[in-house]
Amino acid sequence: MKILDKYLIKQFIQTILFGLISFTLIFVVLNMLENLGSFLDQNVPWQFIAYYYIVFSPDIIKLMTPVAVLFAALFVVGKAANLSELTAIKSSGVSLYRFMVPFLIVTFFVSLFSIYFAGYVVPLANKTKQQIEMKYLNSGYNDSGNNLFFQDSQTRIVTIVYFDNSRNQANRVSIEEFDKNNLTRMVSRIDAASMTYDSTSRSWLLRNVVQRVFNDSSQTAQYFPSMKVSYLNFSPHDLITKQQRPEDMNLAQLSDLINSEKTSGSDPTSTLIEYYSRFSFPLASLVVVLFGLPISANKRRGGLAVQMGVNILVTFIYLVFMQISEAFGKNGALSPLLTAWSANLIFLAAAIFSLMKAPQ
What integer pLDDT is reported at residue 339 of this predicted model? 87
What integer pLDDT is reported at residue 330 of this predicted model? 75
- Tallying the residues shown for the chain, one arrives at 360
Longest dimension (CA), the chain: 90
Same domain, 93 and 163: no
Same domain, 132 and 213: no
For 147, phi then psi, to 5°, come to: 55, 60
What integer pLDDT is reported at residue 18 of this predicted model? 93
Domain termination residue (choose one: 191, 225, 243): 243
Q: Please report whether residue 337 resides in a domain.
A: yes
Domain termination residue (choose one: 243, 259, 293): 243
Same domain, 131 and 99: yes
Q: How many domains does the chain have?
A: 2
Per-residue pLDDT of the chain (360 residues; tens, 9 = 90+): 588 888 889 999 999 999 999 999 999 999 888 888 888 887 888 888 889 999 999 999 998 998 899 888 888 887 777 777 777 877 777 887 888 889 999 999 999 999 999 999 999 898 888 878 777 776 655 445 567 888 888 889 999 988 887 778 889 999 999 998 888 889 999 999 999 998 888 899 999 999 999 987 788 999 999 999 988 988 887 787 777 777 788 898 888 888 877 776 777 888 888 899 999 989 988 888 888 787 776 655 555 666 667 666 777 787 788 778 877 787 777 888 888 888 888 888 888 887 777 666
Same domain, 90 and 234: no
Q: Please report whether residue 256 resides in a domain.
A: no
What is the domain extent for residue 37?
A: 3-139+271-357
Same domain, 157 and 192: yes
Q: Could you write out the three-class secondary structure of the chain?
A: CCHHHHHHHHHHHHHHHHHHHHHHHHHHHHHHHHHHHHHHHCCCCHHHHHHHHHHHHHHHHHHHHHHHHHHHHHHHHHHHHHCCHHHHHHHCCCCHHHHHHHHHHHHHHHHHHHHHHHHHHHHHHHHHHHHHHHHHHCCCCCCCCEEEEEEEECCEEEEEEEEECCCCEEEEEEEEEEECCEEEEEEEEEEEEEEEEECCCCEEEEEEEEEEEECCCCEEEEEEEEEEECCCCCCHHHHHHHCCCHHHCCHHHHHHHHHHHHHHCCCCHHHHHHHHHHHHHHHHHHHHHHHHHHHHCCCCCCCHHHHHHHHHHHHHHHHHHHHHHHHHHHCCCCCHHHHHHHHHHHHHHHHHHHHHHCCC
CB distance 172 to 246 below 8 Å: no
Same domain, 135 and 275: yes
What integer pLDDT is reported at residue 246 of this predicted model? 79
Q: Please report whether residue 170 resides in a domain.
A: yes
Domain termination residue (choose one: 207, 223, 243): 243
Q: Please report whether residue 159 resides in a domain.
A: yes
What integer pLDDT is reported at residue 190 of this predicted model? 95
Helix 46-82 to helix 269-296 angle, to the nearest 10 degrees? 40
Q: Please report whether residue 257 resides in a domain.
A: no
Same domain, 183 and 62: no
CB distance 187 to 213 below 8 Å: yes
Q: State if pTM tops 0.85.
A: no
What integer pLDDT is reported at residue 65 of this predicted model? 92
Q: Please report whether residue 163 resides in a domain.
A: yes
For 148, phi then psi, to 5°, come to: -85, 130
The whole-angstrom separation of Cα 180 and Cα 167 is 34
Same domain, 119 and 188: no
Sign of CA dihedral 272, 289, 120, 245: negative
Same domain, 126 and 9: yes
Same domain, 157 and 226: yes
Q: Please report whether residue 202 resides in a domain.
A: yes
Same domain, 201 and 132: no
Nearest of 48, 56, 43, 68 to residue 121 by alpha carbon:
56
Same domain, 187 and 115: no
CB distance 100 to 91 below 8 Å: no
What integer pLDDT is reported at residue 264 of this predicted model? 67
Nearest of 278, 287, 241 to residue 122 by alpha carbon:
278
Q: Please report whether residue 275 resides in a domain.
A: yes
